[in-house]
Chain A
């Protein structure tokens, strides 16, 4: 028989659960309701023909296409910078480091992971100024600096997921090849990396999600409101989250506001899709660990 206190606690816990779910449904429902009308080709391609915009023949001036391309380029370049470095560092931390180095380096990576994103943007900005003054007059905040800063932002996540997925392999898996005479590199390449690939992959996908949604870093390092498709690594660019921020403060008509809602839906869908994808990959890892040798 539940006492009054028990009933009160159960009621409060259910209440908090229902509040959280309600808030989430309210937010997504509101966004969908307001932005549903704006979701069409005109939102993305403006008044340009979609096919000629996709083949980069014509510029798109009043659509989201440059922002989407900008975000895509950001993701590719920053992941290309951060994943090799993070992978190698994670492998070092899991396989080669002694205990003292693990604790020391782990502390540094924790600090890096908890730095606010605006500070990383500030670092990128000061890096651009430093290069401008001391290396070349032509370097301004640009795509390259944003990609480096975003790469720094996601580096600790990749290191952490690589280290954890390598360390969570069972002891037998990790030492059997070594006991048969394989070197550490052979063990890594043939046994460990294939087995922990799903964990690393899901970490990379989560890092991609983080890249796509971060605004503070790119705000200080080179994103602008309208720049078209970036012609080189040293040019300014547009990005989807910055477009949403810009519209929220500078919209001049209900259509532009509806465009902002449409952009929010697109960004939310991209992030949700990446998240579900990472989750599915992790589930397949679990399945393989349980049911395959």
Chain B
């Protein structure tokens, strides 16, 4: 019976993961999943409205979710313990902002919790959930503070300055979103278009008459000008560009807002608005009238229209929307944690079904992890690593891959332990990184080369993964040896050889990766090596792995010492990967991170602590104390014999 448990667990978790492939159910009949799959242009790339919603939410409230208290008061107050919270789908929220801005103004989605910012805004202590309307009276002050803070280099801003700039940016994004479809003042799209219909013809006639120096109706002209000014605001500040142009202008540059479409009408008032604008208008009307069937029908109609001339964009948007909802990385993370717990258990419970359960779960998580990476590659059209976020995800993948291979060759469960730790730790770090913005952002010019991204970056990431694997393996060695009796001399020797093997792999890939980076730099800037912090970091990893290997070959260090050195590899790699980004110098600076610096320090201290434990004399090692006693009694027996 017990031997079926691994399969049962695999089945349960597998089904749980697959369940997310189904699109979210319609809410009140509205098929927001379909609406969310519609493409738009934002920050230089085509993305589904679902991603637009999530990326805007990240800027507005640092989370890609919508959660707000339902008390709609005009006075901001502390979130009482009994206050109820509600959630919305990201794209559901976006629909409200786009179609019903006045209602969106009242949702308390902005979060302020920095104490100095709260006191500046004369709010009470504690985390505050505020709506746009509640923040309105404070706009002049926020403007003033943010303007001052934005003149300071980002790396040098205090936490208050960072928070006020973040709040300001969030407010600007929200404001722009409200004016992406139509001028907010009109209240809704239908009103906007009917007002347009009223003022357009007479206005243009008045304009033409005035140009021809004939008598004209000033009032008509004024009304037209006022309307056009409003629509110009849309044209200039629309945040996602929602409207694709006609077929003959087919390039990314052709995405624009309804504002441009309306402004064009001045030249030809008899023309009709482009089909997408009409369809969005119909969607808006259906949304406001609470008519889900009409809404869904219009969304469908727009999809068919897109399929004829924008099929590539539509398909990409659908894939990305599916990926967002599937969230394979989040699933993998949970499963890695389960695999980890089972692997811990399996070290002490020697029946094989526990180990195999953890192995199967690890493999399942790995498959999800791989699927996620492949999805991203297909959506972006890029190799797996393009920014810090994707490097973390990929390095985790490498660690798990190595773990699966080593476990197959040496089925002790230790590799599963290491791989699952590597898996969920990297996923947690990646999740944190994903909160700072769009993880599929476009690449700057110098990085716009798939060849070097696929070779240099991937090789270096594999080197990192190998060093971390060896390091984590050594950590387990030390913990098993010092705190348990499980580390027999044979096992210790074997673990040592495995770490050695992985370190060889690590130096090979780290060196190759560093060299490929140098060649890329030579092709790009004309110098192979520039002593840039990131380059130095990579060099340090190569030097450290070389020191490990030479120390081992020269028999300069004991087995324990080598394990300690392997653990130190974790410190070295973390410095090279994250630490150098926090210096802000040279061609490789990606920006300043605060909390990240703290956790990096915590990690480094933890590894140094483990090295400290690993340096304890052998008699303090539970596994070897026994051995020493045996050795001593053997010696004693020899002398007495």
Partners in one complex: no
Q: Which residues of A contact B (CB under 8 A)?
A: none
